[in-house]
Structure 1
Amino acid sequence: MSIAIDLERVLILDASSEQFIQLRERVPSADALEAPSGRVFSIKIGTPEAVAIERRLRGHLAPRPQTHDLLAAAITALGARVTHVVIHTLDAGTYFANIMMEREVEGNVDAEVIELDARPSDAIALAVGLGVPLYATESVLDAASEAQTLVEPPAFDPEDDEDD
């Protein structure tokens, strides 16, 4: 069973080649002022993927197509459309995702469903750019939320900023 999740934040650390995205299980709340609930987990990703996700979240378009823009254009050109992304497996600290697509087939009432294996970082960058939902399986949410602590940015120390 897949459960809706939200991309809560992208954490880009300047001094590291490892960046993080934080995802949260979507739990409906009657009170908009209530703090978000639901299981939370982080995925370690590369800097280029983190920047691509952040750029898409902010709506910044590059003058030329970037990798995820090219993938979206290729999917459309082949007559398919991305419907959603599912993070389906966590194995030895590595996450696996599928980009879920549909393509109309002439003469068929039902669309053809296509699953494309992808790294979660690439799948999420594509999903954010296209505005399609994100999901995780129950097993991933259980394992991920139990197995890790959330990543917090390093605290700012004003003394580190002073000239010696």
Structure 2
Amino acid sequence: MYAAPPEYPPMRQMKVDKLGIDLLTHDPVVILKDLEGKRYLPILIGPFEATAIALALEGTAVPRPLSHDLMRTLLESLSAKLEQIVIHDIKDSTFFAKLIVRTNGDVQEIDARPSDGIALALRMQAPIFVSDKIALEETVPDKVGGDPEETTKFKKFIDELKPSDFME
């Protein structure tokens, strides 16, 4: 396994939880989940990348190779191994990722969009890592299994709602 250089921030491993549609923008979104299942990271992606990720998640064969299948074949034919992808930065709401590729013992870091990295990682069974900074600042905590008192209060609030509460 690749050991990140000291200039990289601490990382945590995540996996693809699901694909969805952002309710505000109607854009596809991939949702990563940490291995403990406590934090979720939504990343807006393009429709083609969403399709590529969905096909990989479902294990669907395609009659001709798609771009990410081609990348996998190129890496494999060059005896290169995708060690991992690292989502390491965010600027102006844009995430930045690197493919960590090992060839003949040498490690290359290749700039990539997170969606392309994720689609390739799924095809090559490579782990996905996110910097702790992003994981702590950009993720959403899982509310399931949260504070029982808060859950009870919320359920009581819902039970006591009346149609008139929705009137102005």
TM-score (norm 1): 0.74
Q: Which moved more, 1:137-146 or 1:123-132?
A: 137-146
The residue aligned with 1:113 is: 107
> How far does residue 78 in structure 1 lie from its aligned partner after superposition?
2.3
Amino acid aligned to 2:34: E
Structure 1 Cα separation of the partners of residues 27 and 67 of structure 2: 19
The answer as to whether partners of 1:98 and 1:118 remain within 8 angstroms in 2 is yes
Unaligned runs of 5+ in 1: 28-35, 105-110, 147-164
**How many Å separate the matches in 1 of 2:62 and 2:80?**
24
- Counterpart AA for 1:50: A
* Cα distance in structure 1, aligned partners of 2:61 and 2:21: 19
Higher Cα radius of gyration:
2
Count of residue pairs brought into register by the alignment: 129
Q: What is the deviation of 1:12?
A: 4.5
User: Given the two structures, how large is their TM-score scaled by the length of structure 2?
Assistant: 0.72
The answer to whether the Cα contact below 8 Å between 1:90 and 1:144 also exists between their aligned partners in 2 is: no
Listed as ranges, the matches of 1:8-157 within 5 Å are 8-12=17-21, 18-27=27-36, 36-37=37-38, 39-104=39-104, 111-145=105-139
> What is the letter of the counterpart of residue 92 of structure 1?
D
Q: Deviations over 1:92-126 (max 9, x none)?
A: 1000011111111xxxxxx1011111000000000
Q: Is the 8 A contact 1:98 1:117 kept in 2?
A: yes
Runs of at least 4 residues off by over 3 Å = none
Partner-residue secondary structure (3-state), 1:129: helix
- Inter-partner Cα distance in structure 1 for 2:41 and 2:126: 20
Distance 2:120 2:101 in 1: 12
Structure 2 unaligned spans of 5+: 1-9, 141-168
The structure where helix makes up a greater share of residues is 2
Shift of 1:79: 2.5
CA distance in 1, matches of 2:43, 2:16: 11
Give, in whole Å, the separation in 1 of the partners of 2:73 and 2:67.
10
Q: 1:129: Cα distance to partner?
A: 1.1
Paired residue type of 1:113: V
Q: C-alpha displacement at 1:4, in angstroms?
A: 0.6
Shift of 1:17: 6.2
Q: Percent identity of the aligned residues?
A: 30
SS of 2:65's equivalent in the other structure is coil
Q: Classify 1:125/1:5 alpha carbon distance in 2 versus 1 (closer, same or farther; 3 Å).
A: same
